[in-house]
Chains A and B, each alone.
Chain A
Amino acid sequence: MAAVAPAGSWARVATALLVGCCGAALASGVQDQAEQFFKSGHTNNWAVLVCTSRFWFNYRHVANTLSVYRSVKRLGIPDSHIVLMLADDMACNPRNPKPATVFSHKNMELNVYGDDVEVDYRSYEVTVENFLRVLTGRIPPSTPRSKRLLSDDRSNILIYMTGHGGNGFLKFQDSEEITNVELADAFEQMWQKRRYNELLFIIDTCQGASMYERFYSPNIMALASSQVGEDSLSHQPDLGIGVHLMDRYTFYVLEFLEEIHPASQTNMNDLFQVCPKSLCVSTPGHRTDLFQRDPQNVLITDFFGSVRKVEITTETISLKSDLAGFESKLPKDELATEPLKYAEQLPVAQIIHQKPKQKDWHPPGGFILGLWALIIMVFFKTYGIKHMKHVF
């Protein structure tokens, strides 16, 4: 019996060790996942999706924006956190042979318009001014909540823009433009007002990379469908509808996003690989130098989805009603400051009796020397050397 018992105990020890190892592994896996939760630092997601072109032949820009809208809604961002700006109404356009639909794939495979689209800025409301006001928050008080970007410093914002653009500008409504400098300044205003935690900027226009060249605020990642000097091309026309339905870059991004679900761990590096030059004809570009995290660690759902981070804790915290203990913890002021009289704070006497500023500029010595040498030469040439005796 003694020989069996040790074997049994060995088995028990081995099982215990195994369980321990698995537990440790599981715990570290959980730990990884737990770390993963806290890597991003955002608590809410917003999306600003802008289509800037009007007219029927720019159908594809509306379809681009709506397909991103659809993906973003599917991955969890609610309408209250999406600002959708469409410059023209394609679904109810008189030229649409299939009213109330906007298709993204030919043969009408996918209707991105759906039943529950909420367009916040429509038609002529899509202007550069309104876009910048949405971004910076400088909105008149009468604006409804659905038209505001109520982000805070823990918001990850996705900004998607599409339309016609050029080197350094994006055309709005065929009548005005937003420049890359204005956009960069708007983002800086957002940063200074702490309106975002991280920002993903995607643009699908011709020469789109020029729009993110001027960004200088931190925590911005940018993607563009084409480099400066290249045009972004459209994907496929539908002969039934008569126009091009999507742009290439957004088409492949949409296909990529269709495979993402809220729990997927796909990261940004995969998004950068979407639509290589063989498929897109233009060279998509991206910019990550302002972004503090490694794109490898950035999940797609950090921007496209609204993955809520919930931490479940089992310990109980009791809230005391008296806060007397806090006052003693306030730091005592180290310096003994005397209260300044108002008059002493403004050095009026110094200002009144300011001496006039001395002239700081003097002509260079070489100039004066040259000028007077010339004058003396002219004088002596005219009057002759014999007059020198008057000088000496």
Chain B
Amino acid sequence: MAAPLVLVVLVAVTVRAVLYRSSLAAFISERVEVASPLNAWKRVVEGLALLDLGVSPYSGAVFHETPLIIYLFHFLIEYAELVFMITDVLTAVALYLAIQDFNKVVFKKQKLLIELDKYAPDVAELIRTPMEMHYIPLKVALFYLLNPYTVMSCVAKSTCAINNTVIAFFILATMKGSAFLSAVFLALATYQSLYPLTLFAPALLYLLQRQFIPIKLKSKSFWLYTMQYAALYLCSLVVIICLSFFLLNSWDFIPSVYGFILSVPDLTPNIGLFWYFFAEMFEHFSLFFVCVFQINVFFYTIPLAIKLKEHPVFFMFVQIAIISIFKSYPTVGDIALYMAFLPVWNHLYRFLRNIFILSCVLIVCSFLFPVLWHLWIYAGSANSNFYYAITLTFNIGQILLISDYFYAFLRREYYLTHGLHLTRQDGTEAMLVLK
């Protein structure tokens, strides 16, 4: 499988290199859908220039990256394009290896459940075979590298790519079962953009499953492992934050990075839901609504953990999707990460109900974003409502996509245990609904 992967990587690198040299690069880096105040490249350059002038880069609300990014780019700023291409390749390779491992786990579990006779007799067509699963890792790498969203994000040199790499390494470490590395990478991801905190739950569930520790609230080994993992995670986070203090000898980065993410002061339009609301809100209520919106991101973790405790990787996929929809400054780079997982759930295709319309919605909205931006900002014949309408539609499309996959996944699990032909008590065909 190495050769096709290398081929895909080469094609992806070529596409990016060609785009870097074309005039589109400048146009793409300016797009608000690709570069947000948190991860725009020109802000990184600005911050480093301020540092060269002897001023703290966090003075003034320009630079919102973490000190480790400062350290990384201080030495690599001339090779920025190469760095971003390498990060994309690393993400794709990490996802490839992770999904390879995951497939093995899935297959093993399936075999176990078949032998234990947990499946209903007529679900033969739902059982997955190694043949069909063979190309899934390659497809995942392909989906990530050649996704137009990823390509645009890379050409714009948005540091979202670095965040994606860290999350991909975190997923790889979790799949391999190393709690220590997983905690370290999760701490790095949380340190960079607060929201991966919610990925703690699926990672914990997966590691518990791997160690064959049952998830019961009374079980001592459960709590022991949880405490160990949580301690590893928190200690690494504390160590990284303290280390960042020593870069500039100040705690300035905490309000500039985390305060900025949580309090959303910059209302530049993006593909998220925050900007329009807070642009039109009275000062009096903004604190309340900021809290509500931020809680919305973290809120789905526990119900999903309860429902999906047997399927932590699907949980991770849904969680990443929720983060990239509801985070305060989303960009298309965040979307590209969860879309890379879609080939893993290929087998759910027959249960997806709205996939056609949703993919149309997503594609059309992606094309309409620049059109309505032009109408609003340059032509002046539209206003922010038009752009926000497209933002809303796009986010609704994403949410419906995720809930569709969620429904399809649960439906398949139900069919596996209860048989494909469900009948009601009076003999007619029954329909499963998500309540």
Residues facing B in A347-392 (CB within 8 A) are 357, 359-364, 366-368, 370-371, 374, 378, 381-382
Chain B, interface SS category: helix
CB of B52 within 8 A of CB of A363, answer no
Residues facing A in B177-200 (CB within 8 A) are 178, 180-181, 184
CB of B178 within 8 A of CB of A370, answer no
**What 1/0 flags go to B238-261 for Cβ under 8 Å of A?**
010001001101000000000000
- Complex CA–CA separation, A362 to B75 (angstroms): 9
Chain A hits for B184, CB < 8 A: 378
Contacting residue for B246 out of A360, A370, A378, CB 8 A: A370
Chain A residue with Cβ nearest B57: A361
- Complex CA–CA separation, A244 to B352 (angstroms): 82
Chain A residue with Cβ nearest B176: A382
The minimal Cβ–Cβ distance linking B235 to chain A, given in whole angstroms, is 11
Contacting residue for B54 out of A361, A370, A381, CB 8 A: A361
The minimal Cβ–Cβ distance linking A316 to chain B, given in whole angstroms, is 69
The minimal Cβ–Cβ distance linking A371 to chain B, given in whole angstroms, is 6
- Complex CA–CA separation, A360 to B74 (angstroms): 11
Given A367-B71, A378-B184, A382-B180, answer yes or no on A359-B247 (Cβ-Cβ < 8 Å).
Answer: no
The minimal Cβ–Cβ distance linking B360 to chain A, given in whole angstroms, is 45
> Does B402 lie at the interface of the complex (its beta carbon under 8 Å from any beta carbon of A)?
no
> Does B213 lie at the interface of the complex (its beta carbon under 8 Å from any beta carbon of A)?
no
Chain B hits for A378, CB < 8 A: 180-181, 184
Chain B hits for A382, CB < 8 A: 178, 180-181
Chain A residue with Cβ nearest B245: A367
Given A364-B246, A374-B239, answer yes or no on A357-B180 (Cβ-Cβ < 8 Å).
Answer: no
Residues facing A in B203-246 (CB within 8 A) are 239, 243, 246
Contacting residue for B247 out of A357, A364, A374, CB 8 A: A364
- Complex CA–CA separation, A363 to B67 (angstroms): 10
> Does B51 lie at the interface of the complex (its beta carbon under 8 Å from any beta carbon of A)?
yes
Residues facing A in B156-193 (CB within 8 A) are 178, 180-181, 184
Given A371-B71, A378-B181, A382-B178, answer yes or no on A360-B54 (Cβ-Cβ < 8 Å).
Answer: yes
The minimal Cβ–Cβ distance linking B190 to chain A, given in whole angstroms, is 16
Contacting residue for A359 out of B52, B178, B249, CB 8 A: B52
Size range of the interface on B? 10 to 19
Chain A, interface SS category: helix
Chain A hits for B249, CB < 8 A: 364
Q: Give the most central of B54, B71, B246: most A CB within 10 Å.
A: B246
CB of B181 within 8 A of CB of A361, answer no
- Complex CA–CA separation, A378 to B74 (angstroms): 23
- Complex CA–CA separation, A378 to B184 (angstroms): 8
Chain B hits for A362, CB < 8 A: 74
CB of A367 within 8 A of CB of B51, answer no
Contacting residue for A357 out of B52, B70, B181, B239, CB 8 A: B52
- Complex CA–CA separation, A359 to B247 (angstroms): 16
CB of A361 within 8 A of CB of B180, answer no
Q: Give the most central of A363, A370, A378, A381: most B CB within 10 Å.
A: A363
Given A359-B52, A360-B52, answer yes or no on A367-B243 (Cβ-Cβ < 8 Å).
Answer: yes
Q: Give the most central of A359, A361, A362, A371: most B CB within 10 Å.
A: A361
Chain A hits for B51, CB < 8 A: 361
- Complex CA–CA separation, A370 to B243 (angstroms): 7
Chain A residue with Cβ nearest B185: A378
Chain A hits for B52, CB < 8 A: 357, 359-361
Chain A hits for B71, CB < 8 A: 363, 367-368, 371
- Complex CA–CA separation, A306 to B184 (angstroms): 82
Chain A residue with Cβ nearest B50: A361
Chain A hits for B68, CB < 8 A: 371
CB of B246 within 8 A of CB of A367, answer yes
- Complex CA–CA separation, A359 to B54 (angstroms): 10
CB of B74 within 8 A of CB of A363, answer yes
- Complex CA–CA separation, A286 to B97 (angstroms): 80
CB of A367 within 8 A of CB of B247, answer yes
- Complex CA–CA separation, A367 to B247 (angstroms): 6
The minimal Cβ–Cβ distance linking B177 to chain A, given in whole angstroms, is 11
Given A363-B71, A382-B178, answer yes or no on A371-B243 (Cβ-Cβ < 8 Å).
Answer: yes
CB of A381 within 8 A of CB of B246, answer no
The minimal Cβ–Cβ distance linking B69 to chain A, given in whole angstroms, is 12
- Complex CA–CA separation, A360 to B51 (angstroms): 8
CB of B246 within 8 A of CB of A366, answer yes
- Complex CA–CA separation, A368 to B74 (angstroms): 12
Chain B hits for A368, CB < 8 A: 71
The minimal Cβ–Cβ distance linking A380 to chain B, given in whole angstroms, is 11
Chain B hits for A371, CB < 8 A: 68, 71, 243
Chain A residue with Cβ nearest B244: A367
The minimal Cβ–Cβ distance linking B183 to chain A, given in whole angstroms, is 10
The minimal Cβ–Cβ distance linking B181 to chain A, given in whole angstroms, is 6
Chain A residue with Cβ nearest B75: A363
The minimal Cβ–Cβ distance linking B262 to chain A, given in whole angstroms, is 26
Chain A residue with Cβ nearest B242: A370
The minimal Cβ–Cβ distance linking B256 to chain A, given in whole angstroms, is 17
- Complex CA–CA separation, A368 to B67 (angstroms): 12
Chain A hits for B180, CB < 8 A: 378, 381-382
Chain A hits for B178, CB < 8 A: 382
Q: Give the most central of A357, A360, A366, A371: most B CB within 10 Å.
A: A371
The minimal Cβ–Cβ distance linking A254 to chain B, given in whole angstroms, is 47
Chain A residue with Cβ nearest B247: A367
Chain A hits for B74, CB < 8 A: 359, 361-363
The minimal Cβ–Cβ distance linking A385 to chain B, given in whole angstroms, is 15
| Extra pairs beyond A367-B247, A382-B181 (5, CB < 8 Å) | A364-B249, A367-B246, A371-B68, A371-B71, A371-B243
Shortest 6 CB-CB contacts between residues of A and residues of B: A367-B246, A361-B51, A367-B247, A370-B243, A366-B246, A363-B71
Write the residues of chain B forming the contact surface with A, with a CB cutoff of 8 angstroms: 51-52, 54, 68, 70-71, 74, 178, 180-181, 184, 239, 243, 246-247, 249
Q: Offer 26 A-B interface pairs, CB within 8 angstroms, sorted by A.
A: A357-B52, A359-B52, A360-B52, A360-B54, A361-B51, A361-B52, A361-B74, A363-B74, A363-B247, A364-B246, A364-B249, A367-B71, A367-B243, A367-B246, A367-B247, A368-B71, A370-B243, A371-B68, A371-B243, A374-B243, A378-B180, A378-B184, A381-B180, A382-B178, A382-B180, A382-B181
